[in-house]
Structure 1
Amino acid sequence: MVSFKRPDGRELEGYLAQPAEPANAPAVLVMQEWWGLNDQIRGVADRLASAGYLALVPDLYRGRITVDEEEAHHLMNGLDFAEVASQDMGGALQYLGTKTDRIAGMGYCMGAALTLLAMCHHAALSAGVLFYGFPPLEYIDPTKIHAPVIGHWAVQDVFFPIETVNELEHRLRDAGVNVEFYRYLAHHGFTNETAVGPGRISRTQFDPVWAQKAWDRTFTFLGRTLWTRD
């Protein structure tokens, strides 16, 4: 765990995963699902680090985690999304900015919504990676997004309807954003290996085949946007 300051001066902690060769490595700001900074999201950061990226996951819940959907909903509703996007993510970006000028935002569910909001306000983000999540579309100003975006969506998602995904894609394209949206015959949380369907986490289900495909596409995207220079 590392500590860093938000723009307002308050301290925040996060989980930092470092690659074997950190010199000149680009970074990924990873935003958690509504479960908190748990082992699964740390594993996402570790996977990115093993591929050569510096990965930071801010602890949005300040040490609290859960496996209960009702409690997760309560924790998420306790967040001020505007403050998280401007302060928590702003501080994380300042911290990563001391190490590199190539930073992608990457989020899952709630974290994807926060990533989209941050892309409207932080020019430091060089790319955005979204996994099955978005905020209310009226909160997004696509004209302020100037970095490429890749999104992974589940057509059987009961939380984030694919019809709204289609509308989001159209709005981004109409604003000139470089967008790659992929749709998978899967349920919400299909890249989360702890989502095993009814009996564990309702209305979500891990799909190893589609998860690997989404990761492959993500690493190709990150390699093109963060490693390749004009």
Structure 2
Amino acid sequence: MGTRIRFTRPDGKEAEGYLSLAGKANAPGVVVVQEWWGLQDQIKGLCDRFALLGYDALAPDLYAGTVIPYHDSDAALREMQSLNFLDACDQVVRGAALFLLKSSPKVAVAGFCMGGAVACLAACRVPEFSAAVPFYGLPPDAVAKPADVKIPLQGHFANSDDFVTPENVDAFEAGLKAAAKSFEFYRYDASHAFMNEQRTVHDRHCAELAWERTSAFLKKHLW
């Protein structure tokens, strides 16, 4: 449904990503940020699903073409650890937002796993976004604090998660409340990456519920 494109970063360099269009003029946009596996087919499929909801969706390729197979967590960890998160946020993700804003009136960011942390980071650092939806991902407090969030935030988290633990989520939520931020957090009796239908941790009921909530949230803030 979509296609691979090139777009320009704020610093003038080129980046690439997967673009899926809603097929109508002036559609709002969603920047979709990948998991630590890279820009694989499941993330492309999420772009297609956003397009069916009426959004132009662009997933920037943060790994410049590298895609990690699901069985190789060690390689995914190495790739994630080599990523410059601030550059990815300020240049690649922001560049994707600027690309969409050429034809979209408003743009949101949604991220999954590692991309959830990047989405939160973008909610603090990228002025072009109108809303953010992180899925089971939060940035380290040293990089972005809850008080730094500048746009409405909807978070989706798993109760069985060794990467973003319930304690991590509680602490970030408390910080958002203390700073009087606009947000809503949802917790699911599922495992990390429950939205990914290509993996055994996928939970259909939780994924469908999270998608419904995401759809309603984006409709509220982008239309």
Q: Aligned match of 1:147 in 123, 142, 151?
A: 151
Q: Aligned match of 1:19 in 11, 18, 22?
A: 22
* Deviating more after overlay: 93-102 vs 177-186: 93-102
Matched, 1:207 2:211: no
Q: Which residue of 2 aligns with 1:122?
A: 126
Matched, 1:225 2:217: no
* Deviating more after overlay: 67-76 vs 49-58: 67-76
Q: Cα distance, 1:141 vs. partner?
A: 3.5
Q: Cα distance, 1:145 vs. partner?
A: 2.2
Q: In percent, how many aligned pairs have the same letter? A: 44
Q: Which residue of 1 aligns with 2:74?
A: 70
Q: Distance in 2 between matches of 1:172 and 1:16?
A: 32
Q: Cα distance, 1:55 vs. partner?
A: 0.2
Please give the TM-score of this superposition, normalised by the length of structure 2.
Answer: 0.95
Q: Which runs of 5+ in 1 are unaligned?
A: 197-204
Q: Distance in 1 between matches of 2:86 and 2:190?
A: 30
Q: Distance in 1 between matches of 2:176 and 2:136?
A: 16
Q: Which residue of 2 aligns with 1:2?
A: 5
Report the secondary structure of 1:56's partner residue: strand
TM alignment of 1:42-191, pairs within 5 A? 42-67=44-69, 68-191=72-195
Once the two structures are superposed, residues 101-151 of structure 1 have per-residue CA deviations (whole angstroms, 9 ceiling, x without a partner) of 311010001001011111111111100001001111232133442211101
Report the secondary structure of 1:138's partner residue: coil
Q: Distance in 1 between matches of 2:96 and 2:207?
A: 27
Once the two structures are superposed, residues 17-65 of structure 1 have per-residue CA deviations (whole angstroms, 9 ceiling, x without a partner) of 00132x1110000000001111100000000001100000001111110
How many residues in Structure 1 have an aligned counterpart in Structure 2?
Answer: 218
Report the secondary structure of 1:45's partner residue: helix
Q: Distance in 1 between matches of 2:41 and 2:176?
A: 33
Kept in 1, the 8 Å contact 2:120–2:138? The answer is: yes
Please give the TM-score of this superposition, normalised by the length of structure 1.
Answer: 0.92
Q: Distance in 2 between matches of 1:214 and 1:88?
A: 26
Kept in 1, the 8 Å contact 2:34–2:59? The answer is: yes
Report the secondary structure of 2:222's partner residue: helix
Coordinate RMSD, CA, aligned: 1.0
Kept in 1, the 8 Å contact 2:109–2:119? The answer is: yes
* Deviating more after overlay: 85-94 vs 134-143: 134-143
Q: Distance in 1 between matches of 2:205 and 2:165?
A: 22
Q: Which runs of 5+ in 2 are unaligned?
A: none
Q: Cα distance, 1:83 vs. partner?
A: 0.8
Matched, 1:216 2:215: no
Report the secondary structure of 1:137's partner residue: coil
Letter of the 2:190 counterpart: A
